[in-house]
Amino acid sequence: MGEPPPGGDDLAPGSPFALLSTAETRAWYAYMKVHLRLRYEMNRQLRAGSGLSLADYDVLVALVSQDPEPMTVSDVAVRIGAERSRVSHEARRLERRGLVALRPSDADRRATAVALTDAGRDALAAATPGHVDLVRAVFFDALTPVQVEALAEAFEGVYEALIARGTLPRPVDHP
Q: What is the pLDDT of residues 15-69, one digit of tens each?
A: 777 788 999 999 999 999 999 999 999 999 999 999 999 999 999 999 998 888 8
Q: Which of these three, 25, 50, 75, is where a domain ends?
A: 50
- C-alpha 57 chain-centroid distance: 9
The helix or strand, by DSSP H or E, that contains position 100, with its residue range, turns out to be: strand 100-104
Based on the domain organization, do 31 and 100 belong to the same domain? no
Please state, in angstroms and rounded to a whole number, the distance separating the CA atoms of residues 72 and 97.
19
Answer yes or no: is 145 within a domain: yes
Number of domains the chain is built from: 2
How would you label 124-161 residue by residue, b for 16+ Cβ within 10 Å and e otherwise?
beebbeebeebeeeeeeeeeeeeeeeeeeeeeeeeeee
Based on the domain organization, do 41 and 97 belong to the same domain? no
Q: Answer for the pair 98, 119: CB distance below 8 angstroms, yes or no.
A: yes
pLDDT greater at residue 5 or residue 137: 137
Say which range, 8-12, 30-34, 64-68, 126-130, has the weakest mean pLDDT.
8-12
Range 85-95 average pLDDT = 97
Whose CA is closest to 94, among 75, 114, 69, 113? 114
The helix or strand, by DSSP H or E, that contains position 41, with its residue range, turns out to be: helix 22-50
Based on the domain organization, do 87 and 25 belong to the same domain? no
Average pLDDT, the chain: 91
pLDDT greater at residue 2 or residue 31: 31
Answer yes or no: is 85 within a domain: yes
Based on the domain organization, do 152 and 76 belong to the same domain? yes
What's the pLDDT score for residue 175?
Answer: 36
Based on the domain organization, do 41 and 57 belong to the same domain? no
Based on the domain organization, do 73 and 93 belong to the same domain? yes
Based on the domain organization, do 110 and 120 belong to the same domain? yes
Q: Which structural domain, as residue segments, surrounds residue 95?
A: 51-165
Answer yes or no: is 133 within a domain: yes
Sorting pLDDT into bands at 50, 70 and 90, what band is 174? very low
Reply yes or no on whether the pLDDT at 107 is more than 50.
yes
Please state, in angstroms and rounded to a whole number, the distance separating the CA atoms of residues 84 and 72.
10
Based on the domain organization, do 153 and 76 belong to the same domain? yes
What's the pLDDT score for residue 6?
Answer: 56
Please state, in angstroms and rounded to a whole number, the distance separating the CA atoms of residues 53 and 44.
8
What's the pLDDT score for residue 18?
Answer: 79
